[in-house]
Amino acid sequence: PSLHKQRHQFVMDFVTKHKPKKVADMGCGECKLLKQLKFQRNIELLVGVDVNGAKIKKEMYGLAPLSTDYLQPTYEQLHIELYQGSVTQRDARLRGFDLVASIELIEHLPLTDVEHFSSVLFGYMSPASVIVSTPNSEFNKLLPGLTGFRNSDHKFEWNRSEFRSWALKVCWDYGYEVEFTGVGEAPHNQRESVGFCTQIGVFHRVQGSDLCNRLHGSEVEEVFSYTLLYSITY
């Protein structure tokens, strides 16, 4: 399967294993991952956010229930919401999630915005688990004909140690633990030296660390900076 599919499958496998009820996809783009996630029966609330509202609008009707969905007696109630908004801005409707995915998003942000993203996602939204994926620049030498970044819109591509430094700082600042993994394997003899094509960090909030955050959160004003584009209840 393509790398794109492997990344989404990674999230699907996580959801199958951990059964989160509230799941958000930050930088959901064409809603491809959401369209797969809606078949995960454990999910009760599924939210997508992207700064590019036009991209969401083009594909969002694909999230509407199929007539056959109503014939499935095992379907639990599912609510889906899509928002136009930036991951660098807070929105109270995105707090309290079990899982937030951010697939191939951070490399599209200027580094100063990555800081805002970290504080909004880990500090403010403070979900129980987070999956972040981004290109591993060490793998680029194995991609034929590639000069520069993999995509012209990328603001940076990190090697494993750069990704690790960012992730460990996030853990330290906001009370999370992280495991590093990835998808897209290098040939056998280069696995260690190059790493995965896509690097992935799986973060878990350390027990109790959301307490001070919640107390802090209750004092701050509720902010609603995202625009609701689509909402449906199955």
Binding site for ligand SAM (CB under 6 A): 7, 27-29, 32-33, 49-52, 55, 86-88, 103-105, 108-109
Q: How far is the CB of 58 from ligand SAM (least distance, A)?
A: 11
Q: Is 199 left (phi over 0), alpha (psi -120 to 50) or beta?
A: beta
Q: How many residues are given for the chain? A: 234
> Which of residues 149 and 180 has its CB atom nearest to ligand SAM in the complex?
149
Return the ∠ at Cα 186 (arms to 171 and 27), rounded to 5°. 45
Q: How far is the CB of 86 from ligand SAM (least distance, A)?
A: 4
> Which of residues 52 and 72 has its CB atom nearest to ligand SAM in the complex?
52
> Which of residues 23 and 210 has its CB atom nearest to ligand SAM in the complex?
23
> Which of residues 32 and 204 has its CB atom nearest to ligand SAM in the complex?
32
Q: Is 132 exposed, middle or buried (0-12, 13-18, 19+ CB in 10 A)?
A: buried
Q: How far is the CB of 134 from ligand SAM (least distance, A)?
A: 10
Q: How far is the CB of 74 from ligand SAM (least distance, A)?
A: 28
Task: Return d(Cα 7, Cα 167) in angstroms, integer.
Answer: 18
Q: Is 84 left (phi over 0), alpha (psi -120 to 50) or beta?
A: beta
